[in-house]
Structure 1
Amino acid sequence: MGLFSSASRLSQIFPPKSKFSVNDIPDLTGQVIIVTGGNSGVGKETVKALLQHNAKVYIAARSEQKVKDAIQDLSSQTGKQAELLLVDLADLHSIKRAAEAFTQKETQLHVLFNNGGVMVPPINQLTAQGFDLQFGTNVLGHFYLTKLLLPTLLATAAPGKPARVINTSSLSHAGVSGVDFNTLKDCPARTEAGSGYLYGQSKLGNVLFSNELSRRYADQGIVSVSLNPGELKTELWRHVPSVVRAVKNATLYPASQGALTQLWAGTTDEGKTLGGKYLIPWARVGEPNPAALDPELGKKVWTWLEEQVADI
């Protein structure tokens, strides 16, 4: 049953009870993991579960104080200390500094959770380099971070023990038929498209990037998956009008539920087999928007992303 059927959509909005729980996560002693946006919401719940299973976890986010607060809170809950990695995904220079800071400390990276993101911010907001804030943060920022960390991921991968890149998308990617490259920098076409469309486009970009990464690096030990974490009560809704939030709130799940699918992909033996897949709540394999499976579009997006970071 395709993603665009009402039954498939309802199955993702109101998923069946999860067969996977955080108790199913294996011991992660010795594993080094990065979670972008790990200071709140789904990211924080992901970090919590990883710490509870003995991983060394870096919380990658832009606010030093918020990350420090999260580290302290998680420490009180788990008895384990997460690490700080300052990065602003809306600034390519910040991403470059963060990757350099990480590789000066670590020689291995077992899992990269590209979890952070923004949703429907004011239309006038752009990245530091003038890109649409949503595509620039959600797609380009994570692409550049992944590109810079790829040598470490490849060096970490071993036979039977792939390195993993887990890319958080959304059901919103279903409503977009492709990528309008004219809307990725500030221009009238971008403003006319509107924040809702631009968000869906960025979430489609997450799946396209994930699939293209899998095509290019699966044979070198990289497992790349994308996923819909579910409809969740998180700070991601902060830019949505309060009336809409109030209505939506009745059908939203806690962030801890939203962490399940990416934890399943990023930690379990089954997760090793999911390269190139699109996952749905809770810890299930689903079907993405057919546009996300177009290898030509995937290649075109990858080429565009490479061009934007060539001179950073």
Structure 2
Amino acid sequence: MAFRDMYTQFYPPKPKFTERHVPSQKGRVFLVTGGTIGGVGFELCKMLFGTGATVYLTSRSKNRGEEAIKAITESSPAPATPGILKFIQLDLNDLASVKEAAAEFARQESKLDVLWNNAGTAPFQVQPSETTVQGHEAIMGRNCIAALLLTQLLLPQLRAAVAAQMTPGSVRVIWTASIAADHDSGLDPNGIDIDQLGTVHPSRTRNYALSKVGNWFLAREMARRYGSEGILSVVQNPGNTSTHGYDTAPPVLVFFMKALILQKPKLAGYTELFAGLSPDVKPEHGGMYIMPWGRIRRDEDCPRQDIIRGIKPEEQGGLGNARRFWEWCELQAKDYM
């Protein structure tokens, strides 16, 4: 099972849900974290712009964010139903910036139909033992703590979108995992050792894998907490693509990865598009894991059943670690709620 699962995530079949399958989204509001040129978020924003929706793109750098918007809006040929692209500055390394970004969004919009927690930090983008402004291990701080804080601060807008929508499951929060979430040999039994959270481990690849399991946990726990309110939460592995996350990786490693597994960011954009807009993703799929380039994986098909056991709540025979991880992330960000 493990080899088959790994192979199908490294070498997925062709995407079956693309921008051609998306009807008009005029009147809807989307937010994509991380949308600069060269990344998966940029490709996703480019697709979403052509649906007629209002799309918010975020970046740490205002210049890079505005460059991305210009590249999308001035691209040729222009889409038949262009939407509106707006920029919000967001630095996941600083929870104060996260709070301000959510406040800025609230000043402009009363609802949010889909939130894509796309932005994240790869192992080679940080130094060993690097921490965030608030002192958290950098990868976990950005990928999980900051992402959960942003999501919770945007709950009023997500709830408003549910009230305005007629289609169940159309208001969604998309979290970003990785193949490392269930295929990294350095992962703890059950995915995360809750008692060791907060430890700044020197292995950046281990910290990255841990954060991606964390995103999976957060997606499942959000589905448990808010699914009954009409907010659909899923996690997706966008796929292995050549993005800025590899800019600082060893050149030899990048050479072989590009030759063997790395593909174009647009393909990963299709995974995120499927997760956020496909009608095949239904309310009963809350918390599920979506594989490249848009396929729902059942829990029983996961090669790491110990992680599934860790995710599930105690009343379902699990360990309740998703709930405990959510609560730990909340505690780290409590001063910014």
State the TM bucket, normalised to the shorter chain: over 0.9
1:265 paired with 2:265, answer no
Is the 1:163–1:222 contact (alpha carbons within 8 Å) kept by the matching residues of 2?
Answer: yes
Name the amino acid aligned to 2:159.
Answer: L
In structure 1, stretches of 5+ residues that fail to align are none
Is the 2:111–2:156 contact (alpha carbons within 8 Å) kept by the matching residues of 1?
Answer: no
2:177 to 169, 172, 182: 169
Alpha-carbon distance in 2 for matches of 1:145, 1:61: 14
Equivalent residue, structure 2, for 1:308:
332
Equivalent residue, structure 1, for 2:143:
138
Is the 1:26–1:268 contact (alpha carbons within 8 Å) kept by the matching residues of 2?
Answer: no
Please state whether the residue corresponding to 2:127 is helix, strand or coil: coil
Following superposition, the deviation at residue 160 of structure 1 comes to 2.3
Following superposition, the deviation at residue 125 of structure 1 comes to 2.0
Name the amino acid aligned to 1:160.
Answer: T
Alpha-carbon distance in 1 for matches of 2:4, 2:278: 28
Aligned-CA RMSD value: 1.6
Percent identity over paired residues: 33
Alpha-carbon distance in 1 for matches of 2:199, 2:5: 35
Alpha-carbon distance in 2 for matches of 1:86, 1:38: 11
Matches within 5 A, 1:243-282: 243-250=252-259, 251-273=261-283, 274-282=285-293
Name the amino acid aligned to 1:7.
Answer: R
Name the amino acid aligned to 2:223.
Answer: S
Equivalent residue, structure 2, for 1:68:
66
1:116 to 106, 110, 119: 119
Name the amino acid aligned to 2:312.
Answer: D
1:294 paired with 2:305, answer no
1:222 to 227, 231, 235: 231
Query: Which segment drifts farther, 74-83 or 240-249?
Result: 74-83
1:207 paired with 2:222, answer no
Following superposition, the deviation at residue 275 of structure 1 comes to 1.9
Alpha-carbon distance in 2 for matches of 1:236, 1:228: 15
Equivalent residue, structure 2, for 1:20:
17
Alpha-carbon distance in 2 for matches of 1:93, 1:182: 27
Following superposition, the deviation at residue 272 of structure 1 comes to 3.5
Following superposition, the deviation at residue 297 of structure 1 comes to 0.4
Alpha-carbon distance in 2 for matches of 1:22, 1:164: 18
For residues 75-126 of structure 1, the C-alpha deviation after alignment (integer angstroms, 9 at most, x for no partner) is: 1124654101111011111100111111011001000000000111211321
1:285 to 278, 281, 296: 296
Following superposition, the deviation at residue 271 of structure 1 comes to 2.6
Please state whether the residue corresponding to 1:232 is helix, strand or coil: coil
Following superposition, the deviation at residue 182 of structure 1 comes to 6.2
Alpha-carbon distance in 2 for matches of 1:75, 1:212: 36
Following superposition, the deviation at residue 39 of structure 1 comes to 1.6
The normalised TM-score by structure 2 is 0.86
Count of matched residue pairs: 305
Equivalent residue, structure 1, for 2:131:
126
Equivalent residue, structure 2, for 1:179:
192
Is the 2:194–2:321 contact (alpha carbons within 8 Å) kept by the matching residues of 1?
Answer: no
1:160 paired with 2:177, answer no
Is the 1:99–1:149 contact (alpha carbons within 8 Å) kept by the matching residues of 2?
Answer: yes
Alpha-carbon distance in 1 for matches of 2:49, 2:196: 39
